[in-house]
Amino acid sequence: MTTRETTLLKVLKNALQVLNRIAGNNPASLGLHPAVYFYNEKGKYSRFLFLGMAAVIQDKLRNNNAVFFKTFTTARKQLEQFLIDNKSLIGLILQNLSKTQRVPKVRDLFEFLVDQLQTPKTLKIEDAIAHLGIRGRILEANVIQTTPQISDDTKSMVYVRQAVTSALRCPVCGGLLDPSKSVSYDHIDPKRKGGSGDPTNVQLAHPYCNTGYKESQPGLRL
């Protein structure tokens, strides 16, 4: 193999590792719900949100920082609520940044949220804006539509809104589940303690919550 091929292979392997953390049924998968993390307020996929989160994960994997995935899981429920509540303002912040700034700022934002939300608290979007070093006021203003047509933008927006409000929740972390992309069947009473595979003892959870997180918190009983 040439050096170039070796480098390419390394890049692809790293990318696959990151993707396996974001979605899929691999035990380390966080199973991030795309509507929460990667879709903007208009219901459109945002590559900046996706690449920002991918950058966080890549960085933690590179530095062998397994603690991060635990702290992420601790913050997850509040973090997801923050992202849902502030979707349109986060979208506006991104629009106000130059394209080269967007991925690093999204990455900063995710890290800031994980760090801040280790304990229950009400975090305001202003706190995040200040942390990102953005000055000025961000004003949310949407034109109210009075005509009866339903535009493609409206369809996407409603689709994402309902996907989020009707999503199942992981009982371990309280975050949203997207079982079509990632799911794990978790023994409520652990197998090692004699827990059975009877439906009454099985629940859906994120793959990482079922293995990497729950196993590291022996006192956790949900």
172 near Zn ion, rule: CB under 5 A: yes
Positive or negative, the Cα torsion across 80, 84, 86, 92?
positive
DSSP string of 84-147?
Answer: HHTHHHHHHHHHHS-HHHHHHHHHHHHHHHHHHTTS-----HHHHHHHTT--S------PPP-S
Least distance in Å: CB of 220 to Zn ion? Answer: 11
Q: Given candidates 33, 107, 206, 214, which one binds Zn ion under the rule CB under 5 A?
A: 206
Residues touching Zn ion, count (CB under 5 A):
6
Choose the binding region for Zn ion from 102-110, 116-124, 189-197, 199-207 (rule: CB under 5 A): 199-207
CB count in 10 Å sphere of residue 42: 15
Contact of 36 with 83, CB cutoff 8 Å: yes
Choose the binding region for Zn ion from 13-21, 124-132, 159-167, 172-180 (rule: CB under 5 A): 172-180
183 near Zn ion, rule: CB under 5 A: no
Least distance in Å: CB of 204 to Zn ion? Answer: 10
Residues that bind Zn ion (CB under 5 A): 170, 172-173, 175, 206, 209
